[in-house]
C-alpha cells in the first residue's frame, strides 16, 4: 500500500509496509503515548477522583459539571506525538498552533507529559499527585480553561514565521474551523512569505467527521475534491487516512496502525519539502511559485470502539463530537460505559505504581527548549523594544495657530515619513498590515521603502516581489489581524493601517485578543509583547465615495467595552500630536491602542514640545485659545478629534471677534479613557473639575458616536451640565455631516451663547439677537447642503 498523494515528481516515498518495517519500535511507542494522552483527555473531562482506577468507578468520582469535547482530541494527540518525533529526529525549531478550540484537554495532556506544564506549575509533577492536579484543574475555578480561541489560527501561524527564518509552525485546522471566513482567506498567506528570510507553516487539515448536529463540509468532501481545492491554492497536498476503513475490530486496529505509519512518513516528507524550498531560496535559486506541503488527515471520530449506549451506536451518531455520554452521574449504564472506556486504555501498562509514565513514553518527548510547550517564541522574553526615531526630527512647524486655510497641512504628511523611518531602522522586526489601499490614506511614501510591486511585472516576478514588502496589503481584515497577532506574539512589532469603518468587521477578533491580554496579566510567567496598534485613517464620516458602506464609527464603542488597562483610544488634534501618539503607542506593551486621524489638510495647533506635554496629560486646557487663559469661564468648549477640534476652534475665534464678553475655556481631549471615573490613569474628581470646572456648562464636540460620550460621563457628578455633540448614526455625506449631527461651528456658537447667558448678563443682553442670526446662517447652510445632495443624486 502506498501513501496517498497527488502526483509529484519522483521522490523517495516509502510504502506503509516499509515505514512499519523500518520504524516499528518507535511506532509502537507512539501508540502507547497516544493511549496515555487519550486516557488523560477523557479523565480531564469526566473525573474528579479515582484517577488511576484503583477501584470501580462510582458516581462520586465524576465531575459535577462536564465540559469539554472529545471528538477531535485523539487526532490532536496522534499528530502531537508525531511532531515530537520529528523534532527529536531533526533538532528543529517548531511549535504547534491548534485551531480546534475544544481540544484543550488533549493539548494539556501532551504538555503535561513533556513536562512543559511543570515548568510553569510545579505542582503538576509526573506522579500520582501531579496527575490528580492536572485532571482536577481542567475546567474548574482558577484552573485551566475548557476552550481556547479558534478561527484565525492559520493567519496567526503565518504571522509568527515572518522574519523568523529558522522557525516552523504546524497549524492544525479542524474541519469545523475550516468553514470560517477567516481561515478561508488565510490559505493564500504563504504567497507573501519569503522562504529566504522567513520560516514556514505546515497546515494540517484534520477531518474527523460530524459537528454537533450536522456533517462538517470538508469531511463530507471526497479526497479528489479536497486535493483539487488545495492544489488550486498552490499547495502540494498529501492525504493521510485509514485506507481500508473496515468496521470489525481487527481491521479497525490495522487501520489505526496504517494511519500511524502513513502520518509518520507524511510529516517527514512535508519537512523535507519545506527544507528543499528554503534551501533553494537561500542559495540564490528561489522558486518563483513554490508549492509548500499541506497534509489532510482523516481520522475516525469514534476512537472508543463501536460500542453502543442507550441503544445507539456511538460510531453511527454524532455524540462522539462532544461528550459521548453526558448523564454519567445518574445513569448506571452510562457510568459502566465510561469505566469500560477508561479501562480500555490499560493505564496499568503505561504508568508505574507511583503514577509516573513509563520511560518508553517519556523518551518520545523532546527535552529542554525543544519542547513545543516551552518554545522560546511562545512564552520567553523574545520581545525587544523598537528602535523609535526622535519625534522632533519630524516636527511640523507652526506658522500661526488659526483656522485660516493658509495654516492647514496634512496630519499624515509627517507621519508617513516617520513610519518610513521606523521601517528603515527596524528592517526585520517591524511590519505594516493593511486591508485598505494605503494611497487612499496618503501613506504612499511608506511604500518607497517596501519594495512596492510593479503592475507591469510578470506573475512569477510579482509574487516574488510581494514577499519582499514590509507593508502587506491584503483585502481581508481578518487575515491582516491574524498576521499581526502572530507577529507580535513572537516578539516583533507592527501596525494595523486601515480606514476606521473597515475595522468593524474584526470586532470579534479585537475582543478575543483583548481577553487574551487580560488573561496573560494573571500569568506571571508570560513575558510582555508589543502592543497591537490600529492607525485608522479616514474616519467614517469622511467617506464621500462610499457613503453607505463606509459610515460606521462603532469600532470605538467596541474598543471601549474592554478593560481600561488593556485598551486605549487616541484622537490627536494635529500632526505633532499624531507623531507623539504613535511614538508612544509603539513603545507600549500588552495593550491595544486605537489611533484615529484624518488625511485631509487641517490647521496645526501645537509645537512638538506642547504636543508631548498634551499627550502625556491626555486632556488639557488650551490657554492660548481661551479667554484670559481660561480663567473663570462662562462656558467650556471641548474638542475630541481633529475635525471636531477644528469646529471648536472656529467657533471660539468667531465668539472672540463678535462677542468678546463671553468667556470661553477651550479644552482638548486626546486620550478618551482619561474621562472615565474608573480608570488607572483617569482624571480624579479634583483634576476633572479643574479641567471642566465644577458648575459651568460644558459643550463637547466629538468625532464619534454619542453613546461613547454617554458611557464616559455616566458616573461623573452633575453630568446634566454636559452638552454632548457627535455622530447620530445617520448615513450622510461629509458635506452635510456637521450640520446634521449638530457639530458645526454655528451649532457650537448658538449653544455657547444659550448656555453662557445665565452666567453672564452682558451675554444675556445680546444672546437673543445673535442666536437668531446664526439660526438663519444654519438655515442657509442647510439649504446649500440639500442642494448639493440633490446635485449629487441627479443623473448626469
CA-closest candidate to residue 638, choices 614, 661, 621: 621
User: What pLDDT sits at residue 50?
Assistant: 94
CA atoms within 13 A on the CB side of 572: 37
Mean pLDDT of 409-436: 90
What pLDDT, in 10s, does the model give residues 459-499? 555 555 455 678 888 889 999 999 999 999 999 999 999 88
**CATH code at 618-793:** 3.40.50.920
Between 100 and 36, residue with greater pLDDT: 36
Q: What mean pLDDT is predicted for residues 631-654?
A: 94
Residue tagged 519522483 (cell numbers): 10
Lowest mean pLDDT segment, chosen from 40-54, 444-458, 555-569, 678-692: 444-458
Q: What's the pLDDT at 67?
A: 82
Q: Using CA atoms, how far apart are residues 103 and 322, in angstroms rounded to an integer?
A: 10
For 171-180, how does the pLDDT look when each residue is reduced to its tens digit (9 = 90+)? 999 888 888 8
Give me Rg for the CA atoms of the chain. 31
CATH number of 4-9+27-379: 3.40.50.970
Q: Note the pLDDT of residue 36.
A: 96
Give dist(CA 590, CA 600) in Å, integer: 31
In sequence order, the β-bridge partners of residue 639 are 668, 701
Residue that wins the pLDDT comparison between 322 and 552: 322
User: Phi, psi at residue 738, to the nearest 5°?
Assistant: -65, -35
Mean pLDDT of 581-593: 96
Q: Which of 197, 202, 170 is nearest to 80 (CA)?
A: 170
239-243, 521-525, 733-737: range with highest mean pLDDT: 521-525
pLDDT in tens, 108-150: 999 999 999 999 999 999 999 999 999 998 877 666 776 565 6
Q: What's the pLDDT score for residue 301?
A: 58
Looking at residue 546, what is its pLDDT? 44
Q: Would you list the DSSP string of 345-383?
A: T-GGGTB-TTSPBPHHHHTTS--GGGSGGG-HHHHS---
Q: According to the CATH classification, is domain 391-603 in 3.30.70.20? A: no
Where does the pLDDT of residue 743 fall: very low under 50, low under 70, confident under 90, or very high at 90 and above? confident
Cα 511 to Cα 569: distance, rounded to the nearest angstrom? 15
What percent of the chain lies above the pLDDT cut of 90? 55
pLDDT score of 518 more than 70: yes
DSSP for 695-717 reads: SS-EEEEEEEEHHHHHHHHTTST
Provide the pLDDT for residue 454.
46
Lowest-confidence pick of 153-157, 560-564, 622-626: 560-564
* Average pLDDT over every residue of 511-526: 88
Rounded Cα gap, residues 733 and 241, in angstroms:
57
Cα–Cα distance measured from residue 378 to residue 372, given in angstroms and rounded to the nearest whole number: 9
Measure the CA–CA gap between 493 and 545, rounded to whole angstroms: 33
Q: What is the mean pLDDT of residues 75-93?
A: 95
Cα separation, 1 vs 262, whole angstroms? 10
E strands, 165-285, where? 167-174, 200-207, 236-240
pLDDT at site 235: 97
Q: Give Cα separations from 302 to 102, 153, 222, 313, 315 (angstroms).
A: 16, 25, 20, 10, 5
Place of cell 519569503: 194
The predicted model gives 617-645 an average pLDDT of 94
Nearest-angstrom CA–CA distance, 663 and 677: 27
CATH 3.40.50.970 domain span(s) along the chain: 4-9+27-379, 391-603
**Matching residue, cell 465531575:** 63
For residue 270, pLDDT over 60 is answered with yes
State the pLDDT at residue 265.
Answer: 93
Strands in 4-5's sheet, in edge-to-edge order, are 4-5, 236-240, 293-298, 200-207, 167-174, 93-98
Which tops the pLDDT comparison, 158 or 730? 158
324 in Cβ contact with 309 (< 8 Å): yes
Torsion of the alpha carbons at 519, 521, 527 and 529, rounded to the nearest 10 = 80
Cα 730 to Cα 612: distance, rounded to the nearest angstrom: 35
Residues 294, 231: Cα–Cα separation, whole Å: 9
Tell me which residue has cell 479536497: 226
Q: Is the pLDDT of residue 283 over 70?
A: yes
Q: What is the mean pLDDT of the chain?
A: 85
Q: Which pLDDT score, from 0 to 100, does residue 445 have?
A: 54
- Beta bridge mates, 168: 94, 200
pLDDT of residue 1: 28
- What band does 596 get if pLDDT is binned at 50, 70 and 90? very high
Q: How confident is the model at residue 9 (pLDDT cuts 50, 70, 90)?
A: very low
- Residues β-bridged to residue 106: none
Q: Are 511 and 555 in contact (CB under 8 A)?
A: no
Q: Please give the distance of CA 261 from its chain centroid, rounded to a whole number.
A: 36
Assess whether pLDDT exceeds 70 at residue 3.
no
Q: pLDDT tens for residues 176-196? A: 888 888 899 999 999 999 999
| Helix/strand/coil for 689 | helix
The confidence score (pLDDT) of residue 782 equals: 82
Q: Cell match 494527540: residue?
A: 77
Closest CA to 46 of 306, 327, 331: 327
Residues 15-24 have a mean pLDDT of 86
Choice among 90-94, 145-149, 463-467, 775-779 with the minimum mean pLDDT:
463-467
Question: Predicted confidence band at 318 (pLDDT cuts at 50, 70, 90)?
Answer: low
CB 785 within 8 A of CB 734: no
For the segment 4-19, the average pLDDT, to the nearest whole number, is 56
Residue 458: partners with Cβ closer than 8 Å, 6 or more residues away: none
Contacts of 275 (CB under 8 A, 6+ apart): none
Asked if the model's pLDDT at residue 512 lies above 70, the reply is yes
Q: Model pTM?
A: 0.90
For residue 154, pLDDT over 70 is answered with yes
The pLDDT, as a whole number, for residue 208 is: 81
Backbone region of residue 273 per phi and psi (left: phi > 0; alpha: psi in -120 to 50; beta: other values): alpha
With cut-offs at 50, 70 and 90, classify the pLDDT of residue 540: low
Q: Which residues contact 173 (CB under 8 A, 6 or more apart)?
A: 99, 153, 154, 183, 203, 204, 205, 206
**What's the pLDDT at 399?**
81
pLDDT band, residue 376 (cuts 50/70/90): confident
Strand, coil or helix: what is 598? coil
Give, in degrees to the nearest 5, the angle at Cα 163 between 159 and 169: 50
Question: Residue 453: which pLDDT band, with cuts at 50, 70 and 90?
Answer: very low
CA 231 to chain CA mean position, Å = 28
**What SS3 state is found at 468?**
coil
Query: What is the pLDDT confidence band of residue 709, given thresholds at 50, 70 and 90?
Result: confident
Length of the chain: 796
Residues 6+ apart with CB under 8 A from 276: none
Model confidence at 734, in pLDDT bands (50, 70, 90)?
low
Which is more confident, 783 or 488?
Answer: 488
Amino acid at each position: 500500500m502506498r501513501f496517498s498523494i497527488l502526483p509529484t515528481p519522483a521522490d523517495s516515498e516509502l510504502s506503509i509496509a516499509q515505514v512499519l518495517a523500518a520504524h516499528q519500535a518507535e511506532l509502537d511507542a507512539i501508540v502507547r503515548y497516544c493511549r496515555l494522552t487519550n486516557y488523560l483527555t477523557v479523565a480531564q473531562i469526566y473525573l474528579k477522583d479515582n484517577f488511576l482506577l484503583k477501584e470501580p468507578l462510582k458516581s462520586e468520582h465524576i465531575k459535577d459539571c462536564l465540559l469539554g469535547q472529545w471528538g477531535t482530541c485523539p487526532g490532536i494527540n496522534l499528530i502531537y506525538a508525531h511532531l515530537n518525533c520529528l523534532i527529536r529526529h531533526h533538532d528543529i525549531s517548531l511549535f504547534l498552533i491548534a485551531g480546534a478550540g475544544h481540544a484543550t484537554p488533549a493539548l494539556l495532556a501532551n504538555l503535561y507529559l513533556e513536562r512543559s506544564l511543570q515548568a510553569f506549575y510545579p505542582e503538576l509533577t509526573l506522579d500520582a499527585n501531579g496527575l490528580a492536579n492536572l485532571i482536577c484543574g481542567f475546567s474548574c475555578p482558577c484552573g485551566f480553561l475548557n476552550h481556547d480561541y479558534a478561527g484565525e489560527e492559520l493567519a496567526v501561524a503565518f504571522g509568527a514565521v515572518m522574519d523568523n527564518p529558522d522557525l516552523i509552525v504546524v497549524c492544525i485546522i479542524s474541519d469545523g474551523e475550516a468553514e470560517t471566513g477567516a481561515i478561508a482567506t488565510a490559505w493564500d498567506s504563504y504567497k507573501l512569505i519569503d522562504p529566504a528570510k522567513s520560516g514556514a507553516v505546515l497546515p494540517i487539515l484534520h477531518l474527523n467527521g460530524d459537528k454537533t448536529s450536522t456533517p462538517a463540509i470538508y469531511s463530507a468532501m471526497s479526497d479528489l475534491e479536497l486535493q483539487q481545492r488545495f492544489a488550486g491554492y498552490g499547495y502540494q497536498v498529501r492525504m493521510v487516512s485509514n485506507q481500508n476503513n473496515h468496521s470489525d475490530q481487527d481491521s479497525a486496529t490495522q487501520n489505526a496502525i496504517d494511519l500511524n505509519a502513513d502520518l509518520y512518513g507524511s510529516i517527514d516528507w512535508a519537512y523535507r519539502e519545506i527544507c528543499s524550498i528554503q534551501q533553494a531560496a537561500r542559495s540564490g535559486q528561489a522558486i518563483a511559485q513554490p508549492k509548500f506541503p499541506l497534509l489532510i488527515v482523516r481520522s475516525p471520530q469514534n476512537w472508543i470502539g463501536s460500542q453502543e449506549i442507550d441503544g445507539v451506536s456511538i460510531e453511527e451518531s454524532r455524540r462522539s463530537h462532544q461528550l459521548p455520554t453526558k448523564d454519567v452521574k445518574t445513569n448506571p449504564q452510562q457510568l459502566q460505559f465510561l469505566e469500560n472506556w477508561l479501562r480500555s486504555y490499560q493505564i496499568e501498562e503505561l504508568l508505574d505504581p507511583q503514577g509516573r509514565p513509563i520511560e518508553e513514553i517519556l523518551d518520545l518527548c523532546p527535552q529542554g527548549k525543544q519542547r513545543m510547550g516551552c518554545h522560546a517564541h511562545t512564552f520567553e522574553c523574545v520581545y525587544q523594544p523598537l528602535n523609535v526615531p526622535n519625534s522632533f526630527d519630524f516636527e511640523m512647524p507652526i506658522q500661526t495657530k488659526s483656522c485660516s486655510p493658509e495654516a492647514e497641512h496634512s496630519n499624515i504628511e509627517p507621519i508617513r515619513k516617520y513610519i518610513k523611518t521606523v521601517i528603515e531602522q527596524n528592517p526585520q522586526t517591524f511590519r505594516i498590515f493593511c486591508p485598505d489601499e494605503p494611497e487612499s490614506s496618503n501613506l504612499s511614501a511608506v511604500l518607497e521603502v517596501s519594495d512596492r510591486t510593479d503592475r507591469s511585472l510578470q506573475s512569477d516576478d510579482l509574487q516574488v516581489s510581494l514577499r519582499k514588502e514590509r507593508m502587506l496589503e491584503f483585502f481581508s481584515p481578518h487575515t491582516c489581524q491574524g498576521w499581526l497577532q502572530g507577529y507580535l506574539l513572537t516578539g516583533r512589532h507592527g501596525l494595523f493601517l486601515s480606514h476606521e469603518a473597515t475595522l468593524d468587521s474584526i470586532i470579534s477578533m479585537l475582543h478575543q485578543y483583548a481577553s487574551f491580554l487580560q488573561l496573560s496579566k494573571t500569568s506571571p510567567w508570560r513575558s510582555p509583547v508589543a502592543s497591537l496598534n490600529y492607525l485608522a485613517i479616514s474616519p467614517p464620516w469622511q467617506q464621500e465615495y462610499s457613503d453607505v458602506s463606509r459610515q460606521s464609527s462603532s469600532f470605538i464603542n467596541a474598543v471601549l467595552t474592554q478593560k481600561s488597562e488593556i485598551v486605549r483610544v487616541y484622537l490627536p488634534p494635529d500632526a505633532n500630536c499624531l507623531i507623539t501618539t504613535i511614538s508612544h503607542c509603539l513603545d507600549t506593551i500588552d495593550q491595544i491602542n486605537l489611533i484615529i486621524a484624518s488625511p485631509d489638510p487641517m490647521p496645526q495647533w501645537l509645537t512638538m514640545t506642547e504636543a508631548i506635554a498634551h499627550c502625556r496629560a491626555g486632556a488639557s486646557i488650551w490657554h492660548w485659545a481661551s479667554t484670559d487663559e481660561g480663567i473663570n469661564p462662562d462656558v467650556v468648549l471641548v474638542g475630541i478629534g481633529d475635525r471636531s477640534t477644528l469646529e471648536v476652534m472656529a467657533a471660539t475665534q468667531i465668539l472672540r471677534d463678535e462677542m468678546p464678553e463671553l468667556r470661553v475655556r477651550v479644552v482638548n481631549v486626546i486620550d478618551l479613557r482619561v474621562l472615565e471615573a474608573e480608570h488607572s490613569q483617569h482624571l480624579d474628581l479634583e483634576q476633572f473639575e479643574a479641567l471642566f470646572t465644577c458648575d459651568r456648562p460644558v459643550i463637547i464636540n466629538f468625532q464619534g458616536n454619542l453613546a461613547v460620550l454617554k458611557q464616559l460621563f455616566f458616573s461623573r457628578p452633575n453630568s446634566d451640565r454636559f452638552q454632548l455633540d457627535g455622530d447620530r448614526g445617520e448615513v450622510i455625506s461629509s458635506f452635510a455631516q456637521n450640520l446634521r449631527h449638530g457639530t458645526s461651528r454655528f451649532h457650537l456658537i448658538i449653544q455657547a451663547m444659550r448656555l453662557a447667558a445665565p452666567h453672564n448678563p452682558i451675554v444675556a443682553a445680546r444672546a437673543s439677537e445673535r442666536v437668531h442670526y446664526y439660526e438663519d446662517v444654519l438655515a442657509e447652510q442647510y439649504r446649500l447642503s440639500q442642494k448639493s445632495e440633490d446635485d449629487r443624486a441627479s443623473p448626469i
